[in-house]
């Protein structure tokens, strides 16, 4: 896409503000709080909040009675929906697509980590830098994914994503090509699911696995799930740029993150854990601390050029900033960008090989 193509896309917040129809938020929780706060700043009228039938039950949120979508359809034939959650579940995604055909669904780009929000004007202002990074991706599909994700981030229109989706399991198989002789490091191992995905493609074995997980509850689940795996080292610590002690919120999910107000826990760098030994593959999914974790693996990346899988969706410009950092650490990498099925565009992954 050209700069003019991006410039012609109406920004999600403007689309919502200019809507000549009632505006309803779909979902409750932290994202709903942030959307309502932004509505107040932008003088956008919220006509109400609805949720899945199992969440209604005469509840209220921020002074709004939580309704079902059938309640709203009784009052309005046409209305605009602003989702306040994300999902990769096929049934939920299908429902979102159906709603987008019958009504209008507009996602807002709410950053998961940090304080910088995505803005179309900022994206266009740094477009030359963005175009330079886009050109570094090794295949046409990566560039198409790049365009689709940023068009979605501007517009909030899920139709931009339909051609960008790929199967993450197949991406792992075709791009990373796991082997039983690999030393694999999983930063953000959660409950062990991604370790098992990796092992599924190696015949169930690796030379050595290091599973980092800072959240206590997730760590316990990870150990319980993988306790029978051979040659695995469990590390209950944040992946960071150096060995340290950091504040961390223990939330057993996407809300688990490094924060000054959290409980003090250990932080480890990949370079420190490996102590100059070789590794073959590193996965980074550390809830917004990917930059620091990459810097903590800088020696390993420069010396051994392990294959990298780097989550690039927690911060608005992660695709650009993390791709640039990877090439700064080792310019010999080839980069690929993939987007698994998810509304909004979460779980975006940069593969470096």
pLDDT at 174 over 80: yes
CA 106 to chain CA centroid, Å, is 18
How deeply is 277 buried, as exposed, middle or buried, from its count of CB atoms within 10 A (0-12, 13-18, 19+)?
A: exposed
Question: pLDDT band at 17, cuts 50/70/90?
Answer: very high
pLDDT at 262 over 80: no
Per-residue pLDDT tens digits for 204-235: 999 999 999 999 999 999 999 999 999 999 99
What is the chain's mean pLDDT, rounded? 94
Amino acid 257: pLDDT = 60
| Planar angle of CA 220, 168, 123, nearest 5 degrees | 100
CA distances from 170 to 88, 334, 342 (A): 16, 18, 16
DSSP 267: E
pLDDT at 254 over 80: no
pLDDT at 146 over 90: yes
Q: What is the DSSP string of 191-249?
A: TSHHHHHHHHTTTS--SEEEEE--SHHHHHHHHHHHTT-SSEEEE-SEE-SSSEEEEEE
What would the mean pLDDT of 90-114 be, rounded to a whole number? 93
pLDDT at 97 over 90: yes
pLDDT at 195 over 90: yes
Amino acid 49: pLDDT = 95
Amino acid 115: pLDDT = 84
Amino acid 251: pLDDT = 65
In DSSP terms, which residues pair with 238 in a beta bridge? 267
What does pTM read for this prediction?
Answer: 0.94
pLDDT at 261 over 70: no
pLDDT at 71 over 80: yes
Q: In percent, how much of the chain has pLDDT > 90?
A: 87
What would the mean pLDDT of 32-59 be, rounded to a whole number? 89
- The count of C-alpha atoms lying within 13 angstroms of the C-alpha of 274, restricted to the half-sphere facing its C-beta, is 26
Question: pLDDT band at 260, cuts 50/70/90?
Answer: low
Q: Do 130 and 136 form a contact (C-beta atoms < 8 A)?
A: no
Amino acid 114: pLDDT = 83
């Amino acid at each position: 896409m050209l700069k003019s193509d991006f410039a012609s896309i109406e920004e999600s917040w403007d689309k919502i503000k200019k809507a000549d129809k009632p505006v309803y938020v779909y979902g409750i929780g932290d994202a709903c709080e942030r959307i309502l706060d932004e509505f107040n700043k932008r003088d956008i009228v919220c006509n109400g909040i609805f949720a899945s039938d199992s969440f209604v039950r005469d509840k209220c949120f921020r002074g709004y009675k939580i309704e079902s979508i059938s309640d709203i359809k009784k009052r309005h034939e046409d209305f605009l929906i602003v989702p306040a959650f994300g999902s990769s579940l096929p049934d939920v995604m299908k429902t979102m697509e159906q709603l987008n055909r019958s009504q209008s669904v507009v996602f807002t780009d709410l950053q998961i980590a940090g304080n910088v929000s995505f803005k179309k004007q900022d994206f266009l202002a740094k477009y030359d830098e963005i175009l330079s990074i886009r050109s570094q991706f090794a295949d046409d599909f990566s560039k198409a994914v790049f365009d689709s994700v940023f068009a979605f981030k501007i517009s909030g229109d899920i139709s931009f994503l339909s051609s960008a989706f790929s199967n993450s399991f197949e991406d792992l198989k075709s791009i990373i090509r796991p082997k039983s002789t690999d030393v694999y490091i999983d930063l953000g191992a959660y409950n062990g699911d991604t370790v098992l995905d990796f092992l599924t493609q190696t015949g169930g074995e690796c030379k050595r696995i290091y599973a980092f997980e800072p959240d206590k509850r997730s760590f316990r689940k990870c150990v319980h799930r993988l306790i029978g795996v051979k040659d695995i080292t469990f590390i209950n610590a944040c992946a960071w740029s150096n060995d340290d002690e950091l504040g961390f919120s223990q939330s057993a999910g996407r809300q688990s993150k490094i924060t000054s107000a959290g409980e003090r826990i250990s932080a480890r760098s990949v370079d420190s854990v490996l102590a100059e030994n070789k590794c073959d593959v590193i996965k980074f999914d550390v809830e917004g601390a990917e930059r620091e974790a990459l810097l903590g693996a800088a020696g390993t990346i420069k010396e051994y050029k392990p294959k990298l899988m780097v989550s690039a969706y927690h911060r608005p410009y992660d695709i650009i900033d993390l791709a640039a950092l990877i090439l700064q650490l080792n310019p010999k990498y080839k980069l690929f960008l993939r987007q698994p099925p998810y509304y909004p565009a979460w779980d975006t992954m940069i593969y470096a090989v």
